[in-house]
Amino acid sequence: MVVGAERPEPQQRAWDAAASVVDPEIPVLTIADLGVLRHVAVAGDRVEVAITPTYSGCPAMNMIALEIELALAREGFPNAKVRTVLSPAWTTDWMSEEGRRKLKDYGIAPPEPKSSRRALFGVQEIKCPQCGSANTELLSEFGSTSCKALWRCKSCREPFDYFKCH
C-alpha cells in the first residue's frame, strides 16, 4: 500500500488536466497529441492555457477551450483562462509520434511530412490505414473536417480519411 504518495506539483497537475482534453472530432487524440496545447502557466489558483488553432475557422476550438476550463476546474483550478495564440502557426509536424500511431489505429491516415503542399500538382503517396497498401487515390481534397481529405484504397476498396499535411 502506498501511503502519502506525493501529489504532483500544481504545474504538472494543471498540464496533465489540460492535456487530457480530446479533440471532439477525433476523440482518440488529445490536444497534447495534436500539438494544439502550447503552454500552461500556474500562478496561485489561476491558470493560463495557450492553444494554437489548427485551421482559422476550426469550429472545434471553442469546444476545446471550454473543455480545458472544465478539466482544470475538476482538478481544483476554477480560474482558468484559455487564450489563443496564432504565432507560430500550427503545423502537422507538431503532432506527436504517439498521436500519429493513434490516428492510424483509429482508421485515419496520419499526415505525411514528405508530401509538399507547395507542389501544386505533385503526386502524393498516402498509405491505406486499413491494409497498409500504397495503391490509393484521392477522392476529395476536403473531407469531413477542415483538417482531413478523403481517400480510397484501391487494394482493399475501403475509403478513408487522410489527416492533411499542413
Partner 1 sequence: MTVSNIQVSETPLVLYTLRRADDALVLGHRLSEWCGHAPILEEDMALANMGLDLLGQARELYSYAAKVEGRDNDEDKLAYLRDVRQYRNLLLLEQPNDDFARTMVRQLFYSAFADLYWRAMMKSSDQTLAAIAARSEKESAYHLRHSSEWIIRLGDGTEESHARAQAAVDHLWAFTGEMFAVDESEQALIHKGVAIDPATLRPLWLKTISDVLAEATLALPSSEWMQQGGRSGRHSEHLGHLLSELQYMQRSFPGLTW
The residue ranges that bind partner 1 (CB under 8 A) are: 53, 55-59, 86-90, 117-118, 120-121, 139-144, 146, 150, 164, 166
158's torsion region: left (phi>0), alpha (psi -120 to 50) or beta? beta
CB of 22 to partner 1, least distance (A): 21
Residue (43 or 86) nearer to partner 1, CB: 86
Rounded to a whole number of angstroms, the minimum distance from the CB of residue 117 to partner 1 is 5
Nearer to partner 1, 7 or 114 (CB): 114
From the CB of 6, what's the least distance to partner 1, in Å?
A: 40
Distances in whole angstroms, Cα of residue 110 to Cα of each of 44, 147, 157: 39, 11, 19
